[in-house]
Amino acid sequence: MKEAQAFRPFETLAEALIPHSHEGDDGSHDLAHILRVFKNAMRIQASEGGNGRTLAAAVLLHDCVAVEKSSPLRARASALAAEKASGVLADLGWSKEDIAAVAHAILTHSFSVNIEPETLEAKILQDADRLDAIGMVGAGRCFYIGGRMASSLYDPLDPAGNDRPLDDRRYVIDHFQTKLFKLADGFKTAAGRALAAERDKRLRDFLDAFMDEI
């Protein structure tokens, strides 16, 4: 499988897990997203340590169940993914302890589930995934998801939300303030925090430029 080569040095594991790694047609949670998260995770792990095999499996399967942002099941997405991942890894002969480590990382990576990661691998996965939500890629994903949800770009009378409640389901730009600008303060690793600071600045510069243009 050609795609698996991009996940070196875990290409053999990737070949086994890519067929289970994502569902549906969501371009913000596709194989490209998984590969970006993998690169983020490997970059953080190079500084922080941790079990590479566990981390790679968790990255490859962290979005293996597709739940749209607008779905009432969204808060359970990571739990459903952890459950599916556990079954996939069991079929591959993984031990119960190793499966539990991967499942914990997948469960706790989600912003909406609000469960603290307890292991280094879980902390790295959470940081790696959140890095993909900020910076230029994060801005692009934000607008892409807004389009899938049929949201407007912004309120034409009050784009910044100075005199109205913020509503990121109705206006894409509101999502910067309701969620994206809050992410950088919650990173769990030193390497992740350093990368997040750079991307958070890019995201804020982007919003400043966007507001200037409108």
Over residues 108-138, the pLDDT tens digits come to 998 778 889 999 999 999 999 999 999 999 9
Torsion angle of the four alpha carbons 143, 129, 23, 75, in this order, in degrees rounded to the nearest 10: -80
Q: Could you tell me if 62 and 106 are in contact, meaning their C-beta atoms sit under 8 angstroms apart?
A: yes
CA distance 3 to 131: 22
Domain boundaries for CATH 1.10.3210.50 within the chain? 1-125, 133-214
Q: Could you tell me if 54 and 105 are in contact, meaning their C-beta atoms sit under 8 angstroms apart?
A: yes
Give the model's pLDDT for residue 66. 79
Q: Could you tell me if 127 and 135 are in contact, meaning their C-beta atoms sit under 8 angstroms apart?
A: no
Q: Could you tell me if 149 and 70 are in contact, meaning their C-beta atoms sit under 8 angstroms apart?
A: yes
**What is 133-214's CATH number?**
1.10.3210.50
Q: Does 71 score more than 80 pLDDT?
A: no
Note the Cα 133 to chain centre separation in Å.
Answer: 6
- The CATH class for the domain spanning 1-125 reads mainly alpha
Which is more confident, 80 or 157? 157
Looking at residue 171, the DSSP 8-state letter turns out to be: B
Q: Does 61 score more than 70 pLDDT?
A: yes
Give the model's pLDDT for residue 68. 67
- 152: which strand partners? 171
Q: Which two tokens stand for residue 100?
A: 């539990």
Looking at residue 119, the DSSP 8-state letter turns out to be: S
